[in-house]
Every structure is written in structure tokens, then in C-alpha cells.
Amino acid sequence: MNKWITGGLHLLFWSLFIASPFILKPIADSGKGQVHKPEEYSVYLFHLLKNLFWIALFYFNSNVLIPAFFNKKKYSQYLIIVLGSFFLLWIADGLFFTLFFKTAQYRALNFIAFNLPVFIFIILAGTAYRIIKDRITEESEKQLQQTENLKTELLFLRSQISPHFMFNILNNMVALARKKSDILEPSLIKLSSLLRYMLYETDENKVLLEKEIEYLQSYIDLQQLRFGKMIRINCNLPHVATPYTIEPMLLIPFVENAFKHGVGMIKDAQIDIDLRTENDQLFFSVKNKYNTESENEPKDKTSGIGLNNVKRRLNLLYNQQHELFIKEDEGWFTVSLQLKLH
């Protein structure tokens, strides 16, 4: 569609360029009360042929000479061909002048005075047109490449997150099965809810915030079933009536990180989760106790994958539209996210 629009604009411009002498001449003559003479049509035809040469020169310069010589820094060859084009115009102008105006005398100085400024303008216009066209094409290709790279990177980040969750949850199921726990069945129901969301919802670029909250709640309930009284969970995930959308699987890494590092050899383990929306802003915080004595211990290969991924995704998708704060203070690890909602 853009090619048709561009072609139409070119056609309109050159049509006006060619027709302008024919349009303006009768208007000027009408004010003087002059009548067209037969030889005036020879003048019109002469100028028409010359305008066709200007059009050909414009595209020859922009589409052939600039890419083949100027852009490759073959300036001397480019200049020779340009001067040759002017010489060719000179010969053609003399032949056509002799053909249409047999009684008039052809003067080279008149040709140079009237045609050299137009020739320079056409060459400069064609060069500027090509440079602008190349710049627009380059920017368009760069933008397309950045978009494709962004999609690829986001898919890669999301593919890292999903297996990470699956391994943790399946390990939970194995532990419950070994204990022959009565909570295995409700845990499998919660797992089914998690899988349904991961398989059918996260293929979209955006999901409803309410769906993301339901997923968080299922995950938290599953962890609560697993750990029972070993941990105190204070959770505030209210219903959101406004149909806000959000990148899927964006909030869960914060919660998973809290359970990963907030349960174990920790006295009075506690996790606080709070979510609220206000003035099209999401305020989400996760706070957990952690064992300060384990700070210097070697970390496994998957340590920090979730938080690093979500930081990268936030920078890619919500640049200048989010604030993320991570703080460690007196045995508490706190993550606070403020996000612009749409």
C-alpha cells in the first residue's frame, strides 16, 4: 500500500511540474488579450521533451548513479557521468531547437544560463531524495530487527521461567506423595490450574491482570498446602474489576523467589504479599524473612534466574513506565514494583 501511495505522489508532483507552463501561460495571456500562434505549440512540445529529460535525469541519478558510484565513494566517476549527462542535454537541446525553431539562431550561452541552474537543482534533489529514502529504509529495517530481537528475547526469557516453576512444583508433588499426604489431591487441583494458565494464557502478549492474580493465588495456596504451619503467609490479592492487562508471568517470579529463600532454616518464617491498583498504577510488594548466615554460601546455578529475567522483561516492555526497588534490611528481603497499567 505504501508503494502505491509513494508512486501516486511522484506521479502527482511530476504531472504538476510538466503541466505548470501550460496552465500558467493561458492565464497570463488572458490578461493581455493575446491569441495563441501556431508556433507556440512548438515551444510547448520543446519544453515537454526537456521536462521528460529532467525526470529521467532525476531517477537516473537517484536510483543508478548514487547507489553505484556516490555511495561507494567513486566520486570522480560520478562527476564524469554527471558532466556527461549535461553534455548530452546540450546536444539534445541543440537538435530539438533546430528542429522546432528553424528560423531562430541557437545560442550556447542562453542554453547554459537557462538550463544549468535547473540541472544542478535536479541533481541535488535526486541526491537528497536518495539519501532520505536510504535513511528511512535503514531506520525501518533497524526497527524491524529490534522488534524481532525483542520478540525472540522475550520468548527466551519466558521459556526459562516456565520450566523453572514446573520443576519446583513437581518436586512439591513428589514430596507430598512420599508422605501420602491428604493434601495431595487439592494440590493436584491447584497444579492443574497453574498448568492451564501456563499452557493456554501465556501465549498472548498481554493477559488480564485478574488472570495473573488468580495464578498467583493458586501458586500461593499450593505453597501454603505444602508448608502448612512452617511459614506464616500474609496475602492481600484483591479482586480487580477494571480490565487492566499485563505481561503474563511477570509477577510470579517475585513470589517464587520469596518462597525459595524465605522457607527453611529461618526462625518464624514469614512472607507478606500485597497488591493494589490506584490511578492506573499497579503497586506490588513481596517481603520475606531470610537467613542472614547463608548470604556468603555458594549459590546454585538457578539462583537469581527469576529476578534477573523479570528485571530484563520490565526493561524491555515497560521502560520508563515502571519502578523496581529491591532492599535487604535486618533479615528482611523486600521487592516493590510500581507499574503503569493499560
Name the band, by pLDDT with cuts 50, 70 and 90, for residue 27. very low
Same domain, residue pair 124 and 66: yes
Is 245 a domain residue? yes
Q: What is the DSSP letter of 268?
A: T
Same domain, residue pair 118 and 191: no
Same domain, residue pair 227 and 331: yes
Provide the grid cell at 132. Answer: 532520505
Residue 319: give its domain's CATH number.
3.30.565.10
178 has a pLDDT exceeding 70? yes
Domain ranges, residue 51: 2-141
Is 166 a domain residue? no
Same domain, residue pair 106 and 58: yes
134 has a pLDDT exceeding 80? yes
232-236 and 270-278 as β-strands: parallel, antiparallel, unpaired? Answer: parallel
Domain end among 141, 170, 197: 141
Q: What is the spatial distance between Cα 194 and Cα 173, in angstroms, rounded to a whole number?
A: 13
Same domain, residue pair 190 and 329: yes
Name the band, by pLDDT with cuts 50, 70 and 90, for residue 151. low
* Closest alpha carbon to 205 in 242, 154, 163: 154
Is 158 a domain residue? no
Mean pLDDT is highest, among 22-26, 94-98, 138-142, 284-288, for 284-288
Is 67 a domain residue? yes
The more confidently predicted of residues 165 and 66 is 66
Same domain, residue pair 330 and 194: yes
Q: CA–CA distance from 109 to each of 31, 94, 119 (Å)?
A: 32, 12, 15
Same domain, residue pair 127 and 55: yes
Classified as helix, coil or strand, 287 is strand
Same domain, residue pair 193 and 64: no
Provide the grid cell at 217. Answer: 493465588
Q: Total domain count for the chain?
A: 2
pLDDT of residue 226: 74
* Closest alpha carbon to 317 in 336, 335, 339, 284: 339
Residue range 254-267, pLDDT digits in tens: 998 898 888 878 88
Domain end among 141, 167, 201: 141
| 302, amino acid identity | T
Name the band, by pLDDT with cuts 50, 70 and 90, for residue 33. very low
Same domain, residue pair 207 and 255: yes
Same domain, residue pair 213 and 309: yes
Residue pair 118/125 in contact (Cβ under 8 Å)? The answer is no
Looking at residues 318-326, what average pLDDT do you find? 89
pLDDT of residue 155: 62
Is 175 a domain residue? no
Domain end among 113, 141, 169: 141
Residue range 267-300, pLDDT digits in tens: 889 999 999 999 999 999 999 998 876 655 444 4
16 has a pLDDT exceeding 70? yes
Same domain, residue pair 105 and 26: yes
pTM tops 0.85: no
